[in-house]
């Protein structure tokens, strides 16, 4: 029996991103979703980094949810953790303002966030 996990992606793993086909091509796309404003996204050009911040003080991040089998999820987890991201955190994702799904997200440790949280209204998205 194969267990499945939901993963929220917001950068190079999204459709059209340079890592998507390698890691997520055969996984199930569940749709576009948004975080609650509990994160801040920093665009590093080639990829974004998301940091968790105090609940309600961050940005709503747009991304995609994929239902993944254990093998593919573990492969992505190894890659992300190797790049310094924290272990996955379960978060509530909203679409259309309603709490809709629970998924995992890879976020950088908050102690490394040295910037100022930008007060952007609406949704923050990273383009591939």
Chain segment 78-110, per-residue pLDDT in tens: 999 988 888 666 777 776 767 678 899 999 887
Does any domain span residue 128?
no
92 vs 40, more confident: 40
Residue 80 belongs to domain with CATH number:
3.10.490.10
Does any domain span residue 35?
yes
Does any domain span residue 111?
yes
CB 10 within 8 A of CB 16: no
| pLDDT at residue 74, rounded to an integer | 93
| pLDDT at residue 29, rounded to an integer | 95
**Residue 54 reports pLDDT greater than 90:** no
Contact partners, residue 125, CB within 8 Å, separation at least 6: 10, 61, 62, 63
Range of 53's domain? 4-121
Prediction pTM value = 0.87
| Mean pLDDT to the nearest integer, 8-25 | 94
Per the structure, the count of domains in the chain is 1
Does any domain span residue 127?
no
1 confidence band (pLDDT: 50, 70, 90): low
């Amino acid at each position: 029996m194969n267990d499945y996990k939901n993963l929220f992606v917001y950068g190079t793993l999204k459709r059209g991103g340079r890592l998507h086909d390698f890691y997520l091509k055969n996984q199930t796309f569940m749709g576009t979703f948004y975080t609650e404003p509990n994160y801040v996204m920093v665009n590093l050009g080639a990829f974004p980094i998301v940091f968790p911040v105090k609940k309600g003080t961050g940005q709503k991040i747009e991304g995609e949810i994929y239902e993944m089998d254990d093998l593919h999820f573990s492969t992505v987890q190894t890659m992300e953790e190797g790049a310094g991201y924290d272990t996955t955190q379960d978060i509530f994702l909203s679409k259309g303002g309603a709490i809709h799904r629970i998924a995992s997200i890879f976020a950088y440790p908050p102690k490394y966030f040295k910037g100022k949280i930008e007060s952007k209204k609406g949704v923050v998205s990273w383009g591939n």
